[in-house]
Amino acid sequence: MIGAIIGDIAGSIYEGRRTVRFEGFFGPDHFPTDDTILTLATMEVLLDGGDYGEAYHRWGRQNPHKGYGGRFRMWLQSNRPAPYGSYGNGAGMRVSPVGWYFDTWEEVLAEAERSAEVTHNHPEGIKGAQAIAGAIFLARTVKDKEVMRSTLASHFGYDLDRHIDKRQIDRKWDETCQGTVPLAILAFLDSADFEDAVYKGIHIGWDSDTIACMAGAIAEAYYDDIPVYMIDEALNRLPVEYIALVERFYTSLAKRLSS
């Protein structure tokens, strides 16, 4: 969704920094990374059907050099790609459209698993995708942060009874679901609005684009109000055909939600 895309682009230049010196959400060097590309692929599958693995493989090959993880790059290079037991946060960064597209918690979690298992079939990889999709579902239906906190903590076993504003800055590089998905959820839970959720996700450091992507995805569902300038800045960095896909997804989603 656009919240995930905004978070990805806004966080793109901060990836790999242990401590973030914030230089703004958007500048000439900000760009869409693999988080955006694979989120678009998820949109396509939900709209048009097909196989998640085929879609991720095709979109990834059509958009090389977007910061894919090492094992995912090897998967893209294979002519017979198969799941490789990953528990990386790639499963969570691309799942946000699923959290919007289904009417029940059970359907959301089942579809999140399907989206994850084509590559990230480790239990933690599947859990990470389900947690982000489930958080989005709760954000748009329950709209109660404390209910979200307790539900996500009890269902997925993440420690969400804490805050990120006084985190330890010596946290090592971590791009696992179990290491970053809880932080993205906390960035949202501690936020005052959409912009603040993305800001907090970026400031966690290291894998800033993906954490901000996941936090932004949840925040979009909860706050309903994204600053127009952020939407414009993000879309202006996408090819016109990708913008058309985003617009088609939101049109389809509006029809589903109104029926």
Give me the DSSP letters along 149-173.
HHHHHHHH----SS-STT--TTPPP
pLDDT score, position 164 = 79
Alpha-carbon torsion, ordered 51, 256, 244, 217, to 10 deg: -80
pLDDT at 169: 43
pLDDT at 166: 52
Locate tokens 């946000």: which residue? 96
pLDDT of 76:
97
- Residue located via tokens 């307790």: 150
Extract the tokens encoding 147. Answer: 């209910």
Residue 171 confidence (pLDDT): 65
Measured CA to CA, the distance from residue 176 to residue 184 in angstroms comes to 12
Task: Enumerate residues 6+ apart whose C-beta is below 8 A from 28.
Answer: none
Q: What is the predicted pLDDT for the residue at 35?
A: 98
Contact call for residues 138 and 113 (beta carbons, < 8 A): no
Distances (CA, A) of 123 to 84, 157, 166, 177: 12, 13, 30, 10
CA dihedral of 187, 24, 225, 247, whole degrees rounded to 10 = -110
Predicted TM-score (pTM) of this structure: 0.97
For domain 2-20+30-258, which CATH number applies: 1.25.40.10, 1.10.4080.10, 3.40.50.720, 1.10.4190.10?
A: 1.10.4080.10
- pLDDT score for 144: 97
Strand-pairing partners, residue 44, are none
What are residue 206's DSSP bridge partners?
Answer: 17
**Per-10-residue mean pLDDT, the chain, length 259:** 97 90 96 98 98 98 96 96 97 98 97 98 98 98 97 97 64 88 96 97 93 98 95 98 98 89
